[in-house]
């Protein structure tokens, strides 16, 4: 039996007064760790999350094939710096892990500024920010620094050190499976490979964890599978390792960039009209907040893999400002100060409300389909005829009765009527209680699938 | 054989110069009668209409079941008043029947103003209007008065009398059936339960009567069934009494609020794209007047019952300003002065034009489908090539020829071309006369259904 | 084997720097000839075109039936004038062939101005322009002149001469067939009946000729059939003479009014969503120029015949300003000075680009459909991850890979992605070269048809 009414609230921020602050705290604790697509930073991150939720860590050996890809060597780093002639660290990995190009090979040498220059990355147009750069699949190395740092470096010789290792090891990712009433799965996926960057994607990692923690004690209709994996190679490895169970994924959501102050953005799945796409559009509409719904684009986060033509999963993406559309993106500007507690709370409420729609989207049968039933007699409707029945509650009752012919789910009714999904779901509960409505047997429930 | 060309004009107000004044006269004669969902006021109204058209009165006994409902006791009223200490009628049913709450139980007592107060209904924001209130399915009583009247009532004792009766009797409704060429029925339905209120719905009652009178002498393709019944319970009773013939209803229209000065509003059927919905949209477009087309909403008039999921009939609603959207709605402000003769005429013309579309919407076959026929040679087309064929008449000929492949009805062509249905119908007549066009045999006429 | 990459450029005006001037030269050489729906002017025109391309002339005898029509008598004219009392030619066919109503019967008489007046056509609102008038299917005669000429004609007797002949002969039209890899035909049709008028339609005639000349040396997927025939009767005769091969026409385009300075207009085929309609919309969108896409209308040029219901061919029309929407239309104002060299070039580029889309619109299969392939490894993708992959080239690769599941053609992808068809086609070539993509076998290619 699925959860009872109210177990998963719909667009009720007041039900989660502290969630934003809690998420910010979690982001702060994970911020200093140097993550990459492999290595100890990922393990450390997953182990911290494991204190809150039962994440299972998977370790996939270097060289394991994954479709067109191969699990790379594992990268770890202990220290990195550029020292000037006086031995001062003018660029220091220990102060900010973005300073080293992610996946840099080990280096230990002395170079003139001229020789060093091709390995230095800055953002001249944002002179106080350090860019975030990677060199995953090429043997290269480099440093990222602010443009002001670079400008302040005199000619001369520098001591360059990257104390990293690139060796056979493992790619690590985490999984949580919350078993529900059925084997049908809702997938929630957050990439975990970025070092000290908050919006992208400590916001997604911590929010997914909090959602898992919230769902764990509930009796759910769907099973929920959370994936915490490095972007691209991680989801590709997960899909290659789990091909047999992919067919159970009925809905999915990539969680990223959920903490900036911008409005919510939902990016549609490749299908464009999957139930997750329609549910997200209704949740954002019902929020009565400004928002965007973007069409699918084969560029972005791991929806690129889930929505590749060989899988074509109904996986969308919830964000606030999408990747590449905020100046702080992939720079040191994407830090703790960039996080907005209200946005974190609101993103959590929206993801939970989306799950509300998926859990409660059923198709009902009006058991009194010929003409309206006498609602007044049953006490579900105001007995007085002298008040205008213009309240959303009354209209929700009439809409559910009118459309419940076995061909329209609550989500269909929400789309047609413009009435909040939550109000329609409440109306359906009331009508079920009075015996005027029955849930259509699942065997026939073609429309909600 | 159906009517010939021109029998039912299309959007020709000049064909009915006196209809607005005639409708207003009929509204005036019915205005004083105290109607309700049952009782002598309904019978009196139907008997007056019977002088113009052959209405059959049906009497359904109290207690008769009708789906989830039961025919209630019959309510009749002779007098009602509130007398002050001096014996003056300060509220008097005889001056305006809205003064008593419709379906009030009998009352005869003396009450202080304080005791009486909960039974008095006013509109403080419209201090000169008397509200219209009902108490159909609860044993209650009350008076409606202007807010000014209430303010002028001093403290003290009042004599209260409602000389009504609530007894087993009948629910009355009227029907007209005009037999056409086929058993396929066009339903026209007007609610008849409101006392002294003009727009809602003496306008609908009198307009439906006049339409019936207009159609009676004609040879028609469709049969036309007119229902004059109390709102909600009346249409529910009608449907329960006539379930076997409901399948013949191919198109339907609820007529209400047709006399105010506002623009025309068509409210779609539950189906949304039924032929009646498309025909109404084309008529309103062709009128070149400002108008609204509203999506279906399971709230309003008797379309709520006709469009309940167990029937799902293609029944829309034609109004000017819809229920609840004009301040005079359900108040004494909805009186004779609120009626606009021009609107009554125009509403009549539009209903008749809608019937024109239903009657004449056929699918034709171009008998010369390969390339255009030589219209000039046949004299149907201007012989001169030096005038621009930009007239709607010429384009109508070309559109009918181009689209008449057996898959497009005249209504389809009207929608695609933007050309007036009337002009297309004229073109089809001309092309039939020249032998260039044939009507598709009805057995194959899938598209017009 | 079809043409290789780049054989037909996409929206590259720089590939044809001289084409506008060349087309203008061709228009100038054909301008003086007096064409009509039959006669030596048509033959002379076709013979001039034959110097550039292998046009075959067809001669269809007077009296030959063509569906509802019959090939008319052939009209030829040697001279025509109106002489005043002094013997001066006040209206002279030799100075401008528009001066005589096309298809005028022979006349030789003396008339007073009053008797002559009904035979004189002017444009009072454009007093310096001579109108273009015809009298094809009625025995009539007349002169066209400027309104100023008319105003200057004193009362008195005039000598009127039209030295024409109307005799059994032939209707002439020209055809070019360029055989491609398949028998599927792209039809390009230009009407050839107008005398000294440039935009309508020397622009279409010369442009079609230049397109044929351009395609001739190429290896093409489609066969291309060019028709140079008089408007209406010519396309009707062609269709009646070629009914058996009409089924091979997969796409078609009527070319007219392609030289004025207005923006491009594409008029859709009767089907509205044929591949030619979609291809034209994409070409115009990709041009990034202002343009119009007009819905089908059964009025215009020979698309009226190709799109008659008995054929319903996917034939659209490319124009700049359409017939009747520019003041110079069917007047002496439609002359050499009205032609815009830039528009002629641009129209040529667009027609060729439309052919590019038709030739290269294929459906591909992503051979690595599960997750994205590792493009960096193959060198088709930038190896550096520190640059934003926001270039259209990168996105084109991702879109082609994502959508190539055998159900989406390149045109489908162009519509969905908003990316230029040319960029997508380049991406498909690159992916084919790397072995990541294969063309779907034609037997299964349902979507591109």
Chain C residues 43-72 with a CB less than 8 Å from chain B = 66-69
Q: Which of C371, C376, C389 minimises the CB distance to A137?
A: C376
Average pLDDT over residues C84-111: 97
What kind of architecture, by CATH, is found in domain A13-71+170-360? 3-Layer(aba) Sandwich (3.40)
Q: Which of A367, A370, A382 to mutate to test the interface with B (most CBs of B within 10 A)?
A: A370
CA distance B408 to B412: 6
Q: Model pTM greater than 0.80?
A: yes
Q: Which chains, if any, share at least 3 CB pairs under 8 A with chain B?
A: A, C
The residues facing C16 across adjacent strands are none
Does C133 sit within 8 Å of B371, measured CB to CB?
no
Size of interface A-C (CB pairs under 8 A): 72
CA distances from A302 to A188, A276, B7, C18, C148 (A): 11, 16, 67, 49, 75
CA distances from A273 to A267, A316, C84 (A): 11, 10, 77
* Contact with chain C for residue B373, Cβ under 8 A: yes
Average pLDDT over residues A250-261: 98
Per-residue pLDDT at C442: 60
DSSP secondary structure letter of residue C391:
S
Chain A residues 11-40 with a CB less than 8 Å from chain B = none
Q: How many CB atoms lie within 10 A of CB B216?
A: 14
Q: Which of C239, C240, C270 minimises the CB distance to B402?
A: C270
Average pLDDT over residues A324-334: 98
Does B369 sit within 8 Å of C69, measured CB to CB?
no
Q: How confident is the model at residue A377 (pLDDT cuts 50, 70, 90)?
A: confident
Does C235 sit within 8 Å of B370, measured CB to CB?
no
Q: How many CB atoms lie within 10 A of CB A403?
A: 23
Say which residues have a Cβ less than 8 Å from residue C68's Cβ, sequence separation at least 6.
Answer: B368, B371, B372, B373, B374
Q: Domain C13-71+171-360 falls in which CATH fold?
A: Aminopeptidase (3.40.630)
Domain B363-444 falls under CATH 1.10.3720.10: no
Q: Which of C69, C121, C310 minimises the CB distance to B386?
A: C121
Same fold flag, A82-167 and A363-444 = no
Q: How confident is the model at residue A392 (pLDDT cuts 50, 70, 90)?
A: confident
Q: Which helix (H) or strand (E) holds C239?
A: helix C233-241
Chain C positions touching A66 (Cβ under 8 A) are: 371
* Contact with chain C for residue B76, Cβ under 8 A: no
Q: How confident is the model at residue C346 (pLDDT cuts 50, 70, 90)?
A: very high
Q: Which of A371, A390, A394 minimises the CB distance to B67?
A: A371
* Contact with chain B for residue C323, Cβ under 8 A: no
* Contact with chain B for residue A383, Cβ under 8 A: yes
Answer whether C23's CB lies under 8 Å from C207's CB. yes
Per-residue pLDDT at B381: 61
> Quick one: tokens of A239?
């899909």
How far apart are the CA of C413 and the nearest CA of chain A, in angstroms? 11
CA distance A331 to A147: 12
Say which residues have a Cβ less than 8 Å from residue B134's Cβ, sequence separation at least 6.
Answer: A385, A386, B36, B101, B102, B103
CA distance B132 to B369: 61
Q: How confident is the model at residue A381 (pLDDT cuts 50, 70, 90)?
A: low
Q: Model confidence over A266-316: pLDDT tens digits?
A: 999 999 999 999 999 999 999 999 999 999 999 999 999 999 999 999 999
Q: How many CB atoms lie within 10 A of CB A272?
A: 13
Q: Which of C364, C370, C390 to mutate to test the interface with A (most CBs of A within 10 A)?
A: C370
* Residue A136, CA atoms < 13 Å, CB-side half-sphere: 25
Answer whether B284's CB lies under 8 Å from B346's CB. no
Backbone angles phi, psi at C56, to 5 degrees: -100, 130
Per-residue pLDDT at A442: 61
Answer whether B265's CB lies under 8 Å from B299's CB. no
Chain A positions touching C371 (Cβ under 8 A) are: 66-69, 235-236, 239-240, 305, 308, 310-311
The complex's ipTM works out to 0.94
Chain B positions touching A401 (Cβ under 8 A) are: 298, 308-309
Q: What is the pLDDT along chain B (449 residues), one digit of tens a residue?
A: 344 444 899 999 999 999 999 999 999 999 999 999 999 999 999 999 999 999 999 999 999 999 999 999 999 999 999 999 999 999 999 999 999 999 999 999 999 999 999 999 999 999 999 999 999 988 999 999 999 999 999 999 999 999 999 999 999 999 999 999 999 999 999 999 999 999 999 999 999 999 999 999 999 999 999 999 999 999 999 999 999 999 999 999 999 999 999 999 999 999 999 999 999 999 999 999 999 999 999 999 999 999 999 999 999 999 999 999 999 999 999 999 999 999 999 999 999 999 999 999 999 999 999 999 999 888 776 533 434 444 788 999 999 999 999 999 999 999 999 999 999 999 999 999 999 999 998 644 444 43
Q: Which helix (H) or strand (E) holds C144?
A: strand C143-144
Q: Which helix (H) or strand (E) holds C422?
A: helix C421-433
Domain A82-167 falls under CATH 3.50.30.90: yes
Report whether pLDDT(A31) > 60.
yes
Residue ranges covered by each domain of chain C: 13-71+171-360, 74-167, 363-444
Q: Residue B113's Cα: distance from chain center in Å?
A: 42
Q: Which chains, if any, share at least 3 CB pairs under 8 A with chain C?
A: A, B
Average pLDDT over residues A188-197: 98
Q: Domain B74-167 falls in which CATH fold?
A: Glucose Oxidase; domain 1 (3.50.30)
* Contact with chain B for residue A399, Cβ under 8 A: yes
Chain B positions touching C307 (Cβ under 8 A) are: 402
Q: If we measure between CA atoms, which residue out of B96, B101, B103, B128 comes closest to residue B32?
A: B96
Share of chain C above pLDDT 70, in %: 95
Beta strands in A27-169 (DSSP E): 56-61, 65-66, 69-70, 74-83, 89-92, 107-112, 120-121, 143-144, 157-167
* Contact with chain A for residue B244, Cβ under 8 A: no
Could you write out the three-class secondary structure of chain B?
CCCCCCCCCCCCHHHCCCHHHHHHHHHHHHCCCCCCCCCHHHHHHHHHHHCCCCCEEEEEECCCEECCEECCCEEEEEEEEEECCCCCEEEECCCCHHHECECCCCEEEEEEHHHHHHHEECCCCCCCCCECCECCCCCCCCEECCHHHHHCCCCCEEEEEEEEEEECCEEEEEEEEECCCCCCEEEEEEECCCCCCHHHHHHHHHHHHHHHHHHCCCCCCCEEEEEEECCCHHHHHHHHHCHHHHHHEEEEEEECCCCCCCCEEEECCCCCCCHHHHHHHHHHHHCCCCEEEECCCCCCCCHHHHCCCCCCCCEEEEECCCCCCCCCCCECCCCHHHCCHHHHHHHHHHHHHHHHHHHHCCEEEECCCCCCCCHHHHCCCCCCCCCCCCCHHHHHHHHHHHHCEEEEEHHHHHHHHCCCHHHHHHHHHHHHHCCCEEECCHHHCCCCC
How far apart are the CA of A237 and the nearest CA of chain C, in angstroms? 10
CA distance A90 to C14: 52
> Quick one: tokens of C285?
């969108």
CA distance A434 to C22: 82
> Quick one: tokens of B218?
């004609």
Average pLDDT over residues A191-220: 98
How far apart are the CA of C420 and the nearest CA of chain B, in angstroms? 30
* Contact with chain B for residue C325, Cβ under 8 A: no
Sign of CA dihedral A312, A313, A314, A320: negative
Could you write out the three-class secondary structure of A224-283?
EEEEEECCCHHHHHHHHHCHHHHHHEEEEEEECCCCCCCCEEEECCCCCCCHHHHHHHHH
Answer whether C41's CB lies under 8 Å from C33's CB. yes
Residues listed for chain A: 449
Q: Model confidence over C29-47: pLDDT tens digits?
A: 999 999 999 999 999 999 9
Say which residues have a Cβ less than 8 Å from residue A51's Cβ, sequence separation at least 6.
Answer: none
Report whether pLDDT(C446) > 60.
no
Answer whether B81's CB lies under 8 Å from B89's CB. yes
Per-residue pLDDT at B378: 86
Report whether pLDDT(C389) > 90.
no
Does A131 sit within 8 Å of C370, measured CB to CB?
no
Q: If we measure between CA atoms, which residue out of A349, A334, A32, A82 comes closest to residue A214?
A: A349
Mean pLDDT is lowest, of A188-192, A426-430, B100-104, for: A426-430
């Amino acid at each position: 039996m699925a959860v009872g009414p109210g177990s998963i609230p719909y667009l009720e921020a007041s039900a989660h007064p502290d969630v934003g602050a809690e998420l910010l705290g979690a982001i702060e604790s994970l911020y200093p760790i140097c993550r990459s697509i492999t290595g100890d930073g990922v393990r450390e991150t997953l182990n911290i999350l494991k204190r809150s939720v039962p994440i299972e860590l998977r370790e996939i050996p270097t060289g394991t094939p994954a479709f067109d890809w191969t699990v790379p060597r594992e990268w770890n780093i202990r220290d990195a710096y550029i020292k000037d002639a006086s031995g001062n660290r003018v660029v220091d990995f220990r102060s900010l892990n973005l300073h080293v190009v992610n996946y840099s090979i080990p280096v230990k040498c002395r170079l003139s500024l001229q020789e060093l220059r091709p390995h230095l990355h800055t953002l001249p147009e944002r002179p106080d920010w350090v860019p975030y750069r990677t060199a995953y699949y090429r043997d290269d190395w480099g440093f990222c620094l602010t443009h002001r740092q670079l400008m302040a470096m005199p000619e001369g010789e520098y001591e360059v050190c990257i104390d990293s290792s690139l060796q056979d090891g493992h790619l690590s990712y985490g999984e949580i499976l919350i078993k529900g009433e059925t084997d049908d799965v809702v997938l929630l996926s957050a990439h975990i490979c970025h070092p000290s960057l908050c919006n992208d994607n400590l916001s997604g990692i911590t929010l997914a964890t909090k959602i898992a923690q919230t769902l764990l004690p509930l009796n759910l209709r769907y099973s929920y599978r959370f994936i915490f994996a490095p972007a691209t190679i991680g989801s590709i490895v997960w899909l290659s390792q789990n091909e047999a169970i992919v067919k159970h994924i009925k809905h999915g959501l990539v969680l990223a960039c959920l903490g900036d102050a911008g409005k919510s953005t939902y990016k549609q799945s490749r299908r464009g009209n999957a139930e997750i796409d329609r549910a997200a559009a209704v949740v954002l509409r019902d929020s009565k907040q400004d928002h965007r719904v973007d069409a699918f684009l084969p560029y972005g986060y791991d929806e690129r893999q889930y929505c590749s033509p060989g899988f074509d999963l109904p996986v969308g993406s919830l964000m606030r400002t999408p990747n590449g559309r905020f100046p702080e993106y992939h720079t040191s500007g994407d830090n703790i100060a960039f996080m907005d507690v209200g946005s974190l709370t609101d993103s959590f409420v929206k993801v939970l409300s989306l799950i509300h729609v998926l859990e409660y989207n059923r198709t009902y049968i009006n058991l009194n389909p010929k003409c309206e039933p006498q609602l007044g007699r049953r006490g579900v409707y105001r007995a007085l005829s002298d008040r205008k029945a213009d309240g959303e509650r009354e209209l929700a009752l009439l809409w559910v009765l009118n459309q419940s012919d076995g061909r329209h789910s609550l989500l269909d009714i929400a789309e047609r009527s413009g009435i909040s999904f939550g109000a329609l779901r409440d109306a359906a509960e009331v009508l079920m209680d009075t015996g005027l409505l029955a849930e259509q047997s699942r065997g026939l429930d073609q429309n909600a699938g």
